[in-house]
């Protein structure tokens, strides 16, 4: 049996090697390393895939979130609501812009933002809500938009973990990241649609926002050397765009492979009482960026798995309200519990049945001992 990887990017690459190698070589041959034609063609391909009017490529997912907030013209002291249980980037960009992050707890089953708590956290200073589509499925965007739109509050979807998933909105299935005013994603290598370095993008159906975000990402300039506003240097590298253009063709296949692997895990774990398998919400498909369990004796189990050459990860060990940089008073019961109990198992497109059987046999062995 091959060594088990948390994410097996090398074997995934081997299946698309000729197309990827040719795409990279084309960029090198043209020497158009910055804003080359592959950036424009990938942008167009992703717009078609998502069914949205505008994709604005940028340097990474964190930049995408920051550009989105800057385009909304939020001001220092304004408040932005986000889930407490998430990766630090969502809170980081809020603080960097002098805004106030307002953390709310998450649902105990789906781990997605608690809609009722969003309503409780609203104030006259609330200018944006950032729901995080965690682990590969989406927050309830219809309910969030019902809260936000009548109040003039912007919604930015953090879609870094769920690109390729579908979400039910007003009775129609649409691609994740296209329901809110702005969607943001990361092309970090381990993502379902990942490049071989850093990359990111923003999505919107709003022409004015699209123009604003493209300007901000280009040093605040629409015309070279004429800077209309304070911006930033955030662009998708041409080589990475060429790689992403190849991989986008396989995204749906990759997502289906992850779903099949998740089903196998579910079946293998069905008689393990100390483990709770991932919940699936009815309003969203799940693309399993992570396969995350709630488990008993989490830290000991993780150590035991490592002793058997099985990697696992804790996403996330500390909630936002307990991070030293953002320490906040308040009750975050679910987030605190998840930080003690969640464990993510290997999940990728190359995962083999025998590897999954070995992983689950080892988990069962741990709980029997």
The tokens describing 270, both together, are 């069905």
Give the integer Cα–Cα distance in Å for 192 and 84: 23
Average pLDDT score over residue span 201-211: 98
Q: Which domains can be identified in the chain, with CATH numbers?
A: 9-248 (3.40.640.10), 251-368 (3.90.1150.10)
Neighbours of 310 (CB within 10 A): 18
| Confidence label for 73 from pLDDT (cuts 50, 70 and 90) | very high
| Confidence label for 327 from pLDDT (cuts 50, 70 and 90) | confident
Mean pLDDT of all residues in the chain?
97
User: For the segment 21-72, what is each residue's pLDDT rounded down to a tens digit?
Assistant: 999 999 999 999 999 999 999 999 999 999 999 999 999 999 999 999 999 9
Instruction: Report the pLDDT value the prediction gives residue 298, as an integer from 0 to 100.
Output: 98
Give the integer Cα–Cα distance in Å for 213 and 57: 10
User: For the segment 254-305, what is each residue's pLDDT rounded down to a tens digit?
Assistant: 999 999 999 999 999 999 999 999 999 999 999 999 999 999 999 999 999 9
Whether 242 shows a pLDDT value over 90: the answer reads: yes
The share of the chain scoring above pLDDT 70, in percent, equals 100
């Amino acid at each position: 049996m091959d060594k088990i990887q948390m994410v097996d990017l090398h074997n995934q690459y081997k299946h698309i090697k000729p197309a990827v190698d040719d795409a990279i070589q084309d960029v090198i041959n043209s020497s158009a390393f910055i804003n080359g034609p592959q950036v424009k063609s990938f942008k167009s391909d992703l717009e078609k895939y998502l069914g949205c009017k505008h994709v604005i490529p940028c340097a990474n997912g964190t930049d995408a979130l920051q550009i989105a907030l800057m385009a909304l013209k939020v001001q220092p002291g304004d408040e932005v609501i986000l889930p407490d249980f998430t990766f630090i980037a969502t809170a980081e960009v809020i603080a960097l812009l002098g805004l106030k992050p307002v953390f709310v707890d998450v649902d105990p089953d789906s781990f997605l933002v608690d809609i009722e708590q969003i309503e409780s956290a609203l104030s006259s200073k609330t200018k944006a809500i950032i729901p995080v589509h965690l682990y590969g499925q989406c927050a309830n965007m219809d309910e969030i938009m019902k809260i936000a739109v009548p109040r003039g509050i912007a919604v930015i979807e953090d879609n870094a973990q769920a690109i390729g998933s579908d979400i039910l909105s007003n009775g129609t299935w649409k691609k994740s990241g296209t329901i809110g005013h702005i969607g943001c994603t990361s092309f970090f290598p381990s993502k379902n649609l990942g490049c071989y370095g850093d990359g990111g993008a923003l999505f919107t159906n709003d022409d004015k926002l699209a123009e604003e975000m493209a300007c901000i990402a280009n040093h605040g300039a629409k015309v070279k050397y004429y800077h209309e506003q304070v911006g930033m240097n955030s662009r998708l590298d041409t080589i990475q765009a060429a790689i992403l253009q190849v991989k986008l063709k396989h995204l749906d296949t990759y997502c289906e492979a992850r779903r099949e692997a998740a089903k196998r895990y579910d079946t293998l774990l069905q008689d393990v009482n100390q483990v709770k398998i991932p919940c699936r919400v009815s309003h969203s498909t799940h693309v399993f960026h992570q396969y995350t369990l709630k488990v008993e004796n989490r830290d000991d189990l993780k150590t035991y798995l490592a002793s058997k050459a099985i990697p696992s990860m804790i996403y996330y060990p500390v909630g936002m309200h307990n991070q030293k940089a953002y320490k906040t008073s308040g009750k975050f019961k679910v987030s605190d519990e998840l930080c003690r109990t969640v464990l993510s198992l290997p999940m990728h497109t190359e995962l083999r049945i025998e590897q999954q059987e070995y992983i689950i046999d080892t988990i069962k062995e741990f709980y029997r001992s």
